[in-house]
Chains A and B, each alone.
Chain A
Amino acid sequence: MNDIQPEGRDGAGPATMTVRPGFSWAGVLLGMRMVMPFVPGILTFATVYGAAAAAKGLTLGQTLAMSGIVYAGLSQMVVLQIWTENWTLASLGTIAILTAAINARMILMGASLQPWLKHAPVPLNAVNLFLFTDQSWVIGLRHYESGGRDFGVLLGVGLLTWPLWVMAAVPGFLAGAAMGDPARFGLDLVIPIMFAIMLVPLWRGARPAVPWAVGGLVALIVSEIGGGYLYIVAGAVAGGLAGAFLPEKADA
């Protein structure tokens, strides 16, 4: 019955972790540790957001409320671009559609973790999903793929990231846009790198990777023809469909 062995070799699920789905504070600490590589990028992005919000004329209260309650960096930045003093129902509708388009990828990320999350109590899922980000997804996936099942990992990621994301907007808001280019330190590539290297533990041979190629290709095409922020969803759905219609083995 030892088909799933949690292992410590890659730091994604040490041997002390429960294999049965469950929650532990050790898991919370593990999640905090696993999100550390992302922290410089989160702090920088939050500072940039704070500066952009100040430039758009938001109050500090509005700026922090958006970070704390919406808690989705890219959609916050995009909404700032169309922030206005005179709101109409039409501009409100635009905001809702833009926000949904940018964050629709999280629908698919949530679906991909559902085989694990379905074992969690609803209140815990409610909190973990409120705090759910790209970082949560890739760290949760890493943990799950290496045999871990501890919901505390997701909570740990959120508990560390949320206050940092909210508070780091303050210096940006106060100092304005007076800072260096984060790209100089490669911080714009931290998430792409962490996503890409996740392909290695996910790898099960060439055939299961065919849908990935389909997904990547469709996303590339949609983004090239100006599909806005929906290219991730388009690619993910295409990859999922390819997986559904492509039997894993000829004899399966």
Chain B
Amino acid sequence: MLEMLRAMPADVVVIAVMALTTYACRISGVVLMSVVTVTPPVERALKALPGSIIMATVLPLVAKAGPGAIITLVLALAVMVWRRNDLLALGAGLAFIVAWRALGL
């Protein structure tokens, strides 16, 4: 295995390692859950997962991005609650942040 690695150009090995690692991440959640028995706690965990992933992605990001980003997300959420329209919510958020940044805030 090591001999094979040494015989290949390093950049090919690096990109292959990245690709295999990434693909393993992409499939393993689906594969793993197909062998796990879905007991009620597992089912509740799965149900909690989407919202948790969203919060875990977005909260640290906006905390770093500052007040403009926070207002943007609150505005987009408000529009989404009001009209239930993804594009409208995205448009409102983007319009706000573009104006906010253009004003140098």
Q: Is the CB of A129 within 8 A of B26?
A: yes
The residue in chain B whose Cβ has the minimal distance to the Cβ of A85 is B10
- 8 Å CB contact of B52 from A132, A211, A248: A211
Q: Is A103 an interface residue (CB 8 A)?
A: yes
Name A's interface SS.
Answer: helix
Q: Is A242 an interface residue (CB 8 A)?
A: yes
Q: Which chain B residues numbered 1 to 60 have a C-beta less than 8 Å away from chain A?
A: 10-11, 13-19, 21-30, 32-34, 41-42, 44-60
Cα A79 to Cα B80 with chains together (Å): 36
Q: Is the CB of A216 within 8 A of B49?
A: no
Q: Is A185 an interface residue (CB 8 A)?
A: yes
Q: Which chain B residues numbered 38 to 90 have a C-beta less than 8 Å away from chain A?
A: 41-42, 44-65, 69, 72-73, 76-77, 79-81, 84-87, 89-90
Q: Is A100 an interface residue (CB 8 A)?
A: yes
The residue in chain B whose Cβ has the minimal distance to the Cβ of A214 is B52
Give min CB distance, A42 to chain B, whole Å. Answer: 14
Q: Is the CB of A117 within 8 A of B30?
A: yes
Known: A95-B17, A112-B46. A193 touches B90 (CB 8 A): yes
The residue in chain B whose Cβ has the minimal distance to the Cβ of A125 is B30
- 8 Å CB contact of A197 from B15, B25, B76: B76
Q: Is the CB of B77 within 8 A of A212?
A: no
Q: Is A90 an interface residue (CB 8 A)?
A: no
Q: Is the CB of A186 within 8 A of B25?
A: no
Q: Is the CB of B26 within 8 A of A194?
A: no
Give min CB distance, A5 to chain B, whole Å. Answer: 15
The residue in chain A whose Cβ has the minimal distance to the Cβ of B55 is A216
Q: Is the CB of B90 within 8 A of A243?
A: no
Q: Is the CB of A212 within 8 A of B21?
A: no
Q: Which residues of B contact A188 (CB under 8 A)?
A: 65
Q: Is the CB of B56 within 8 A of A193?
A: no
Cα A192 to Cα B90 with chains together (Å): 10
Give min CB distance, B53 to chain A, whole Å. Answer: 5
- 8 Å CB contact of A109 from B53, B60, B61: B53
Q: Is the CB of B57 within 8 A of A239?
A: no
Instruction: Give me 15 other A-B pairs in contact (C-beta within 8 A), A106-B22, A211-B51, A215-B56 excluded.
Output: A95-B17, A99-B22, A107-B32, A111-B29, A111-B32, A118-B30, A189-B73, A189-B94, A192-B73, A197-B86, A200-B77, A218-B56, A223-B64, A236-B56, A240-B45
Give chain B's interface residues, CB within 8 Å of chain A. 10-11, 13-19, 21-30, 32-34, 41-42, 44-65, 69, 72-73, 76-77, 79-81, 84-87, 89-90, 93-94, 97-98, 101-102
Could you list 15 A-B pairs, sorted by A, with CB under 8 Å? A103-B22, A104-B25, A106-B29, A111-B46, A114-B34, A126-B27, A132-B26, A184-B101, A211-B52, A216-B56, A224-B60, A236-B56, A239-B48, A239-B52, A243-B46
